[in-house]
Structure 1
Amino acid sequence: MKYLKRIGVILLAAFCMVAGMQAVQAQDNTNVTFTNEENKTPDLFISKHVESADDRYEIPKDVAFHFVLKLGGKPANREQYRVFDENGDEVFNHSDGTISSDTTNKIPFMTDRNGNFTLYGEHTAKFEYVGNGVSYEIFELPQENFQQISPAAGTSATGTIKPDGSRVEFVNLYVPNVEKKTTDLVVTKRISYPQGYVFEEETSFHFILKLEGKPYANEIYTIKDNVSGEELKEARTDENGKFTLKGGQSAVFKEIKTNIDYEVAEEKADGWRVIGDVKQSGATQAPVTAVQYTNAIASFGVNKTLSDNSTSEDTFRFLLMDHTKKAWSGARYYLYNSVSGKRVDDQTYETDEHGYFTLKANQTAIFIGIEPGTLYDVQEEAKPGYIQKTPVSTTGYEDKVVGDNVEILPFVNEPIKEEGVLSVTKLIENTTDEIPMDDIKFTFVLSRKNGEVYEPVKDAIYVIPIGNSESTYKTNEQGEFPLKGNQTVFFKGLRQGETYKVEEKQTNVEYVIKTEQQEDKLDKNISFTFTNVYTPKKLDLYLSKMNHDKEALEGAEFTLYSNEEMTNIVGSYVSEEKEGLFIEDLRAGTYYLKETRSPKGYKLLEGIIKLEITREEGTGKLLVKVNGKDITQTKEEDQIHITTTGAGEKDEIHMTVYNVKNFWIPITGGKGIAQLIGFAMIGCAGVLLVLKKKAKKEG
C-alpha cells in the first residue's frame, strides 16, 4: 500500500508539473437661475435640445436621454451635478424618481461608476469645478425615434475645460411614427462645424435617390432652408434619380408611399468628408422619413484668449507638429474672430516652413483638409508678460487625433499685472523641421551689481507657474537656476532699484546659445528672453539578436515607438545573421522597443524596452538608459546589452537582445498528452518494480 501511495504522489507531482508548464505556455500566448454674468469657474455645462421633424406632432416631454461622460480620459465616477430647466431655474432629483423645483426630500444628481447620467429635453447639467485644463468626452446613447444631429451623426463631443468653463449642446431630431399611407421623405444636408463658428461658403452636394430599388427619376422635390423653414424653390431629379443640395438645405419629396424601401447615396465632394454612412437605406414611415447627411471640412481648431477676455494687439506664436515631433509646414487654416464666430477675411492661411502660425487674442485658427485619425501636437510659444493658464502644460496638446467632431483647443493666457518682477523666458528655435523629443533643462545664473562687479544672488526665490498653481524654488550658492524650453520663471522678491544680470551657461551641444547675457535695473518689471537654436546631432541604432551561445538569430521582428502608448511608430526591423542597421538618423529622446515576433523555437521578449537617450552636458557624449538602468551598470551576459560608439558626425548605439529557448510540451489535446501520460505511467511502473525487488531482498 505504501508503494501505491508513493506512486500516487509521483503521479500527482507529474501532473502538477505538466499543469504548471501548460499555464506558463498559455501565458506566453496570451434655486439658482442663469444670468448674463460670465462664468468664473472651470465648470462643464451640457445642454439637451430637441427639435421635431414634423411640427404637427408635439415632442414627448417624458423622454430621458442617456449620456456617458469621461473626464481626463477616465469615466466620471460618481460625479455630482446640478440640473437647470429651459428658464434657467434649478430642478432637483427626488428619491421617488421625480424631478421638480420642489426642494423637499431631494437627493443629488450623480453619475454612476461608469460615467452614465441622464438629461431631459431643454435641461442643462452643470458639473461644477471640473478643473482648468481637464479634457472631457461626452457620448450620447441612441434613442428610438430620435436622431442626433449635433454633434453630427452620433459622434461624441470632446474638448478641454477653460478657466471660465466650457459648454456643449446636444441636439436631437424627434421623428414621430404614425399609421398613414403616404409620407414626406426629407433628405437634409448639414455642415459639421465647431459650435459658435459660422461657415459661409456655399458648396453643392449631389445625391442619388432610389425607391424600391429603382432610380426616382424625373420627380419634383422642394428645397427648404433648414433654419427658417422657408421653401426656396422646386427642382426635379434627373433620369438617374440625382438631386442637389447646399449646406443647410433639405430636399422634400412629398406623397411617397409608406413601408417601401428607399436608398439615398451621396457622391463624394472634393475636400469634404461624410460623417456617418455615405449610403443610407430603410423603409419609409409616416408622417415623415428623415434622412440626415452631415459633411465636414474642418479638422480641428486652435483658439487664443486672455483670462479676462480682453483684446490685445500682441501676437502669440504657435507650433504645429505631426506625430513624429516634426514641424508641420503648409497646413491650411481659416482665421476666425472667436467672439463673432465669423471669418476675419477670405484668405486661406498656411503654417510656415517651420510649422509656425500666429494668433491674436480672441482669434481662432480652424484647420481644414486633414484626414480623420491623423495625430498632431500643438504648442504655444511662451510670451513674456503672460502666464499660460490653459493648457496646464507648456508642452501644449500632445497626441491629439483628428476626429469626425471638430475639437477646438483652447490656449488661455493671463497678463502679468504684478510689479517688481524679474522674469526669464526660454525659447527654442528650430532651423530644421525637427523638434526636440524631450524637455531639456538649461542652466542660468542670476547676479546683482555691487559697485563695478556682479555677484551671484544665492537663495533667490522664484516661481514657475503651472496652470492655476505654481512651484517655488531657490537659486543655489552660485546663483544658478534651471529652466526648460518654453518655460518662464518669475523672481518676485528682488530689491527694487538694483541692477540685475542673467546669463546662460552652455550645457548642451545640440542647443546653440543665440542670446547674450542681459542686464537691467529693476524699477517695475524686467523681462529677459533667451533663445537657443536646436540643431540635433544624429545617431544610428544597430540591433542584433542572439542566443546565450552568441549565435545570431534570424527572423525576430522589432518595432520602435516614440510614445509610451505605442501609437507613433519610428521604424521596424527584422533580425538577420549579423548585426543590422535598425534606425538611421535617430535623435536623442525617449523610445519604446517591442519585439513583435520571436525567432522560431525561442520565447518572445516579454514587456517593453524603454530606451532613454540623452547627451552629457558640455561634452555631448551619449548617455543611454535601458528600463531606467544606466548601460554602464549592465553586463554583456544581460538579456539586453548596449554599447555606444563615437563616429565623427554621427554616434552609434549597438544593441544586442538575447533570447532564450522555449521549453514546450504538447498539452492542448491530440496524441501529445496521451504519450506524456503513458511515459509517466511506464516510469512509475518501473519504480514500483524496483521497489518490490528491493523489498524482497530485504525480506
Structure 2
Amino acid sequence: MTQGVENKNNFSGLSGLGTISIQETKAPEGYLLNSEIYVIKITSTNDGSEFVYTYNQPKIPETLLTLDIVKVLKGKDAPISGVVFLHTDSKGNQEEVTTDEKGQAVLKGLTRGTHTIQEKSVPDGYTKNLGVLKFSVDENNKITLLENTATDKTGTMKFTVREDGTAQLHVEDVLAPYQLIVHKVNDHAKVLEGAEFTLYADKDCKQELQKATSGTDGILRFEDLEVDKKYYLKETKAPDGYQIPVNADGSDIVYEIYTKSDPQKDLFEYYVNGKKYTDATGDFAITGTKADREVNLKVVNPVGMKMPETGSPWTVGILLTGLGLIVAGYVMMIRKGKQEDEEK
C-alpha cells in the first residue's frame, strides 16, 4: 500500500487535520491488484487532558485471480456439461473442475508459476480434446500464455487475458465418430464374400475416401465417420459369380449416408437417402453404444443377377445355343453361295 498525508494545520477540537490516501501496489498471491485510491480524513478530539487523533481504517476488497473455462460443441457453441478438466500448478498440485449445465467451470486463486490445463474426460458421445494449455503467473500476478497444442481436428482452445487481469479458456469438443457396417447378402439370405464398396465425399462419387471388401460373414466396415457430414456409398465390385445391381435406367445405385447427434439429449439419428432411421434392429439398425455408435446397411444382390457357374445346366444351354447359331449361320452362307452360282 502507498499512503499520502496532506496536512491542514488546523488543530481545533473535532477539526480536520489532514487526509491519507491509500492504494494497493502489490496484491497477495492468487488475487488481483486493487487499483482504487482510498482517501481517509484524519480528525482529532480534545477530552481536556490530551488530543486524540483518529481515522477510519478502510476495508479494501480483494478479487481472486481466476481462469474461467467455457466448454462448447465445435461449430455450434452449444454448451457441454460434465466435462472434467485437470489443472496442475507449478508445484505439481492438481485439482479437477467439471463444467456445469452452461458448460462453465472456474479455477480460483491462481498461484505464481506455470500452470497446465487439459481435459481429463468427456461425456459419452464426444471426443476428448487432446490439447494441452500452459500459462504462467508472474510476481505481479500477470497471466501470460506459454503453450497451446490444441488443433482444429479435435477442437480449438482459445485463451484470452481480460483487461481486468483474469483469463478465459474457450474449449471445443467434437462429436464422437461412428462406424458404417454393410451387410452383403443375396435375396435368399446367403451372405456374400468379396463384395467391394467405396465411400465417397461427393454425390458424383469422384472424391474417394475409403474402400472395404466383405469377408466370409458378408460384412464390411467403414470407420471414423463424422457426424453431420454426408457420405456417398456404392458397390464397385460384385462378389464372384454376381453382377453389381443397378437402377432401372442402368445408372449406379448410390446410398447417401448422414447422421445427427446430440449426446446431451441422448439423440442419434441415421439417414439413408434422406429417410430417417432410429431403430436398433432391421436392415438400417443403429447399434453399438452412446460412446461408439454403429449404423447398419443391408445390401442385397438378387439371385436373378447371378452369373452362371461353370459346368451348370445354364452354361451348357448357353453353349448349345451359341453353337446352334454358328451352325445356322454357316448353313445360310452355303445356301447363299449356291444360289449365287445358279444365277450365274
Which TM class, normalised by the smaller chain length?
0.3 to 0.5
**Structure of greater Rg:** 2
Query: Higher relative CO (CA 8 A, sep ≥ 6), structure 1 or 2?
Result: 2
Please give the TM-score of this superposition, normalised by the length of structure 2: 0.37
